[in-house]
């Protein structure tokens, strides 16, 4: 077989062929992994809901709905026991993290108390901001623990005049975490305190 001459045209043809093969392989890998990734994300979401709200016997993921917050929308998962609302899980987020978006699942009972939270996604610094999952759920440190805390519209870290101890050397992450919880609380308030929504989800 005659060897192709080294020319600009032949180089372009070779590169084009390689690009097509690589693109086809990437498309194949994407199709093969798309469904497992989606299933893993769904399972992670369902596990997070179970972690953050009181016991329920409905399927919150099937009853989820959106709530508008500051031009954005958050997903709300109502947790019910025998048809009665016992808590609300809110998938909240903030773009104010030190390294970008932070996504959290926050659970409230019907009285506005934070039952628990689960960090779903972040890119914060290991050993610093990445400590948020443990830092803000430390029951031995009341000033940094947000679990079983009655929430309100104006929670802040201490450096901003609030009462929450920020993660050591990670104030930006701490502010972002609190911002995400405050956004979740806004969604909670819209569901619980708005008369028509309250009637809809507590009957």
**Six-digit token pair at 39?**
């299933």
- Please state, in angstroms and as integers, the Cα–Cα distance from residue 26 to each residue in 15, 22, 191, following that order: 16, 6, 43
**pTM beyond cutoff 0.75:** yes
DSSP state of 55: -
Nearest of 192, 203, 202, 198 to residue 111 by alpha carbon: 192
**Whole-angstrom distance, CA of residue 166 vs CA of residue 176:** 10
| Residue 128 neighbours by CB distance under 10 Å | 15
Q: Is the dihedral of CA 154, 188, 116, 71 positive or negative?
A: negative
Q: Can you give the residue ranges of every domain in the chain? A: 51-202
Per-residue confidence in pLDDT tens, the chain, 203 aa: 455 556 667 777 778 788 888 888 887 777 777 676 667 777 788 889 999 999 999 999 999 999 998 788 999 999 999 999 999 999 999 999 999 999 999 999 999 999 999 999 999 999 999 999 999 999 999 999 999 999 987 899 999 999 999 999 999 999 999 999 999 999 999 998 764 444 554 44
Whether residue 113 contacts residue 149, with contact meaning beta carbons closer than 8 Å, is answered with yes
**Whole-angstrom distance, CA of residue 50 vs CA of residue 128:** 27
């Amino acid at each position: 077989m005659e060897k192709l001459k080294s020319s600009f045209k032949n180089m372009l043809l070779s590169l084009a062929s390689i690009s097509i093969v690589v693109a086809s392989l990437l498309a194949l890998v994407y199709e093969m992994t798309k469904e497992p990734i989606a299933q893993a994300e769904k399972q992670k979401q369902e596990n997070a809901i179970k972690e953050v709200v009181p016991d329920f016997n409905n399927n919150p993921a099937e009853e989820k709905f959106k709530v508008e917050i500051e031009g954005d929308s958050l997903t709300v998962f109502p947790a019910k026991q025998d048809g009665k609302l016992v808590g609300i899980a809110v998938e909240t987020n903030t773009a104010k993290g030190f390294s970008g978006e932070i996504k959290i699942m926050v659970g409230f009972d019907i009285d506005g108390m934070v039952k628990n939270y689960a960090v779903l996604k972040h890119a914060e610094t290991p050993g610093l901001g990445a400590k948020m999952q443990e830092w803000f759920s430390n029951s031995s440190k009341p000033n940094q623990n947000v679990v079983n805390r009655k929430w309100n519209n104006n929670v802040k870290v201490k450096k901003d005049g609030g009462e929450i101890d920020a993660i050591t050397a990670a104030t930006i992450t701490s502010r972002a975490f609190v911002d995400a919880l405050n956004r979740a609380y806004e969604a909670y308030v819209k569901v619980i305190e708005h008369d028509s929504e309250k009637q809809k989800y507590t009957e």
